[in-house]
Amino acid sequence: MAPLGRRAAWLAALALVCTANLAQGQTITACISKGDVDTCKSALENAYGTSLEFECVKEGSDDECLKAVRGGEADVTIVGGTQLFAAHNTYNLAAIVAESASADLGTASYYGVALTKKSMCATLDGDTNQDLDDSLQTPITGLDNSLKAKRACHTGYRKTSGWVLPVGKMIEGGYMDPDQWASEAKTESVRVDAETVEKFWDDNVCAPGTTEFGPKYDDSGNGEIYNGEDGNGGLCKLCKGDCSGNDPYAGYYGALYCMD
């Protein structure tokens, strides 16, 4: 997700679209999951003055903001690519403003970059790197089986560039097999993508945070942190804190610190 200042600017753009059919004096409510409501409200007021009334509310996650919009408690919110799918399929919401880094919105793209230490890789000619970490039996050659049982730091569970793109690529390539772990995942009340990733990395993973539905879920289907039976596994073994979305190893910078 974008920093607060950028998010506030996009909330302003969203609010502008929403004002088309609103009468003067009617309040537009924006939902945020990060930052503070005062900064959000100030950004909206600075953009459009006092001719319109603005209010910002804060929820605990992007999913909660989507619920707020669906339930009429908010008018607009901002989400990433992963939540956009849920916004449409689960909450019956539609995108009204999109950002493109290219000149043509029709070619808008989202890139994810996989990083590893040079000492963990094979050389360009395919030979084993002489500086290879002694704890690794084989060097890493790409998004393939050479990664199996290595250590992984994801930005968070079901985050777009830190989970959806790499996990999807690994499943597409046949390196991760959700069908193999579907039964065990159901027995443990764990979403199958979480179980698949845990097993591939042999518990050596940090993928903090939750969504509304996972990675682990309770009897009502609500998402919970997945830290394994002993509280030190699942998607949390390599995490530094509580494995929540606020874990020191969560997010882009957190994932880099996790690799250190």
What confidence tier does 256 reach under pLDDT thresholds 50, 70, 90?
very high
What confidence tier does 168 reach under pLDDT thresholds 50, 70, 90?
confident
What confidence tier does 23 reach under pLDDT thresholds 50, 70, 90?
low
Neighbours of 85 (CB within 10 A): 13
pTM of the model: 0.65
What is the per-residue pLDDT for 147?
Answer: 92
Please tell me what DSSP assigns to residue 164. I
What is the per-residue pLDDT for 95?
Answer: 78
State what percent of residues in the chain have pLDDT above 90. Answer: 40
**Tokens, residue 196:** 């698949």
Q: pLDDT by residue (tens digit) across 45-92?
A: 887 776 778 899 998 777 788 889 999 999 888 887 667 766 777 788
What confidence tier does 251 reach under pLDDT thresholds 50, 70, 90?
very high
What is the per-residue pLDDT for 4?
Answer: 44
Q: Rounded to whole angstroms, what are the CA distances from 38 to 18, 47, 48, 246?
A: 20, 14, 16, 21
Choice between 12 and 150, residue whose per-residue pLDDT is larger? 150
What is the per-residue pLDDT for 49?
Answer: 72
User: Phi-psi region for residue 151, left (φ > 0), alpha (ψ -120 to 50) or beta?
Assistant: beta
Output helix, strand, coil percentages for the chain, rounded to the nearest 5: 40, 10, 55
Mean pLDDT of 21-45: 80
Strands (E), 118-171: 152-153
Q: Where are the alpha helices (DSSP H) in the chain?
A: 4-18, 37-48, 62-70, 81-89, 165-172, 178-187, 192-201, 251-259
